[in-house]
Amino acid sequence: MEVMLTSNGYVLDESPQRLGHLEPTPDRELTDRDRLWHRMRRQGYLYLPRFLDVDEVTAFRRYYFGSLASTGLVRRGTDPVDGIVGHDCDLPELRRMLFHDVVPGSQFLSFCTQPAIRDWFGWFLDDEVHLHRRKILRHVRPEERGIGTATQAHYDLVYLRGGTDRVLSMWIPLGDVPVARGGLCYLEGSHVPMMAEEAAAEAADVRPARGMTPDLPGLAEQYDSRWLVADYRSGDVVVHSAHMIHAALDNVDPEERIRLSSDIRYQRVRDPIDWRWDHDWHDRDGL
């Protein structure tokens, strides 16, 4: 079924000049650190299909939706792991349970520090690594529309000014996220002009604005670039640089499934750390 791709209500230009697809990292490069770094510097991201064990992802997905099922987040009478949206959600109770129980819970920490993730960052960064405690868990329901509902275009460094610019983010779809379900999209090659703009701003002793815009089509025109999308599958991850512009699509899934994802950040422990991120995530924490 064809769907119109939107973000915060803005309709994406789907012409070949403005829309493309993320390039999966070839299997032959997965164990070659130098080639992976060459790809990261060239693209600004590494798209790693089936990086995580699907059973591990499914188990955490079941825990998440199962823990919050009593709030009406998922449709009553369905298997919570399916993530089919409920229409009578108790939002105050959902927020209480999410930020009091799930986000600071041991299950989330264990998932984010599993060997497949932590050991990979240690190998890729060739050093002892630090996981930022502020780890984000995000669900997006299919009925959410309009400005402010999907993650607007930004690059992560604007929220991590107190630390190193060499921090790496990992976006993890927790279950299948086809484009209609509202996954992340990346502005092709945008890490290059952002690095240049950051360098110029540092020389002038100013800082670029924290946010950018919900207008993804306008941003693609401004930088004469394409938004890159993917039909993510359970187990896939994307690792991206702190300078790479990205945003989320609206969830227009005709199956009415919730998009569930996490984004976490690792860096070398010897590099400067933004200690504002040394607390559990809350959507009102000011970052």
If you ran DSSP here, which 8-state letter would residue 271 be given?
A: S
Please report whether residue 167 resides in a domain. yes
Instruction: Check: CB of residue 274 under 8 Å from CB of residue 134.
Output: no
253 falls within a domain: yes
The pLDDT of residue 148: 75
What separation in angstroms does the CA of 76 have from each of 43, 70, 141, 198, 211?
Answer: 43, 9, 15, 49, 37
Report if residue 88 sits inside a domain: yes
Q: Which of 42, 35, 22, 21 is nearest to 192 (CA)?
A: 42
Name the strand (E) or helix (H) holding 241. Answer: strand 237-241
Q: Please say whether the beta carbons of 74 and 84 come within 8 A.
A: yes
Answer yes or no: is 143 within a domain. yes
Query: What pLDDT digit, counting tens, does each position of 210-247 carry?
Result: 567 899 999 999 999 999 999 999 999 999 999 999 99
Structural domains counted in the chain: 1
Model's pTM, two decimal places? 0.95
Position 284 in a domain:
no
Q: How far apart are the first and last CA of the chain?
A: 37
Tell me the pLDDT tens digit for each residue of 92-103.
Answer: 999 999 999 999
CATH code for the domain of 35:
2.60.120.620
147 part of a folded domain: yes
- Closest alpha carbon to 232 in 249, 256, 245, 215: 249
Domain membership flag for residue 191: yes
In this prediction, residues 21-45 reach a mean pLDDT of 98
Give the residue, 5 or 201, on which the prediction is more confident. 5
Region 170-192: mean pLDDT is: 97
How sure is the predictor about 149, in pLDDT bands with cuts at 50, 70 and 90? confident
Q: pLDDT class for 3, splitting at 50, 70, 90?
A: confident
Give the range of the structural domain holding residue 120, as residue numbers without chain letter: 6-269
Spell 53-79 as b/e; 16+ CB within 10 A means b.
eeebbeebbbbbbebbbebbbbbeeee
Residue 157 inside a domain? The answer is yes
Nearest-CA neighbor of 242 among 274, 215, 217?
Answer: 274
Q: Which amino acid, 93? A: E
